[in-house]
Amino acid sequence: MSSLLAVRNLTTRFHTHEGVVHAVSGVSFDLEKGEILGIVGESGCGKSVTMLSVLRLIPDPPGKIEAGEVCFGGRDLLRLTEPEMERVRGAEIAMIFQDPMTSLNPTLPIGFQIAEALRLHLGLGKRPAADRAAELLTVVGIPKARDRLGDYPHQFSGGMRQRVMIAMALSCHPQLLIADEPTTALDVTVQAQIIDLVQRLQAQLGMTVIWITHDLGVVARLVQRVMVMYAGHVVEDAPVEGLYASPGHPYTVGLLGSLPRRTKGGRTGLTSIPGQPPGLVAPGPGCPFAPRCRLMTARCLDENPALESVAAGHQVACWERGRMEGVWDGV
């Protein structure tokens, strides 16, 4: 079983005036070739910072990847030099972001921007690069692609711009596509189009995808495996059916409970998680979720649990995971 990406104990901290922010603490996971992994969590949980750390895009200062290993294609990405890393980004691992407007240069036509990656990484000439760019735009579903090569980003709608981003990301046939909340800012019908597109492309090209989101609905639709993050830690890692059917971590249960479920008849109150997500400066030694957890014990406050297996391919980081049987009654 060869993983495409194996992350071990990744730890990233930011050194600010207010203190040291523990953005990512000891994150480990494996990614198989062709898999779609979803990373789920609320704001501040570290899901974006984890992926930016993998790609070594963390600004230093104030950020610093303090520990860990990121094995990709037989090499540890954290040990590569910057020029070697530049060859990896775009060509082997591509990333798309939430706001295409800031990822695209508003002063350059998009044909130019797509062709740029092609010229840099594949060394294509001007004409072949333009041809390939038009091809890519057609693949991602932009009508009259050739005519639109000369258009500027502001001439495209939000959904179209995201498609352009995907086209750019795919241009050099990366093995891994990381999508950081790409549909969060889009309307629901446009989101459906983009998810549909990614699913088709993934099937066609056999791409491996990491999809970061806070939307548990998108996760249910698209991904095969889910990693739930909280305050910089991975708290649960499970196949998607297993996560929704029998979530193992109290935080996951709380998240699923916060969602409005289809209740026929009366409206029941949503089960909310009391309190606020923790600050990331000077965290205590215990489980980060303990202060808000209904199952909290003394041990939870003193020791941070590691991920342990509760079922096939399903891992949970919780001392009280034995008590989680039957807690979740599903829909």
Do the beta carbons of residue 194 and residue 182 sit within 8 Å? yes
Taking CB under 8 A as the criterion, the residue among 84, 147, 187, 325 binding other proteins is 187
Tell me whether strands 63-72 and 75-76 are parallel, antiparallel or unpaired.
antiparallel
Taking CB under 8 A as the criterion, the residue among 21, 27, 117, 160 binding other proteins is 160
**Does 138 contact other proteins by CB under 8 A?**
no
- Choice between 273 and 310, CB closer to other proteins: 273
- Choice between 79 and 200, CB closer to other proteins: 200
**Does 240 contact other proteins by CB under 8 A?**
yes
Taking CB under 8 A as the criterion, the residue among 10, 27, 218, 227 binding other proteins is 218
**Does 59 contact other proteins by CB under 8 A?**
no
Do the beta carbons of residue 102 and residue 64 sit within 8 Å? no
Taking CB under 8 A as the criterion, the residue among 59, 61, 83, 269 binding other proteins is 269
Q: Say how many C-beta atoms besides its own lie within 10 A of residue 10's C-beta.
A: 25
**Single-letter amino acid, residue 245:** A
Do the beta carbons of residue 127 and residue 135 sit within 8 Å? no
Taking CB under 8 A as the criterion, the residue among 57, 108, 203, 259 binding other proteins is 259
Do the beta carbons of residue 210 and residue 227 sit within 8 Å? no
- Choice between 132 and 233, CB closer to other proteins: 233
- Choice between 44 and 68, CB closer to other proteins: 44
**Single-letter amino acid, residue 6:** A
- Choice between 123 and 274, CB closer to other proteins: 274
- Choice between 137 and 160, CB closer to other proteins: 160
Mark 280-296 as b/e (b = at least 16 C-beta within 10 Å): beebeebbbbbebbebb
Q: Which residues pair with 5 in a beta bridge?
A: 31, 72
Reference 206, options 175, 244, 183; nearest CA is 175
Residue 123 CB contacts under 8 Å (≥ 6 apart), including other chains? none
**Does 297 contact other proteins by CB under 8 A?**
no
- Choice between 109 and 291, CB closer to other proteins: 291
What distance in Å separates the CA atoms of residue 216 and residue 254, rounded to the nearest whole number?
A: 12
Under DSSP, is residue 103 helix (H, G, I), strand (E, B) or coil? helix
**H or E element that contains 254:** helix 250-258
Taking CB under 8 A as the criterion, the residue among 244, 288, 289, 316 binding other proteins is 244
What distance in Å separates the CA atoms of residue 59 and residue 69, rounded to the nearest whole number?
A: 18
**Does 202 contact other proteins by CB under 8 A?**
no
Taking CB under 8 A as the criterion, the residue among 190, 205, 295, 301 binding other proteins is 190
Q: Which range of residues in 2-10, 47-55, 68-76, 252-260 is near other proteins by CB under 8 A?
A: 252-260
**Does 19 contact other proteins by CB under 8 A?**
no
**Does 275 contact other proteins by CB under 8 A?**
yes
Which residues here bind other proteins, judged by CB under 8 A? 42-43, 157-160, 187-193, 195-196, 214-218, 220-221, 240-241, 244, 254-262, 264, 267, 269-277, 291-292, 331
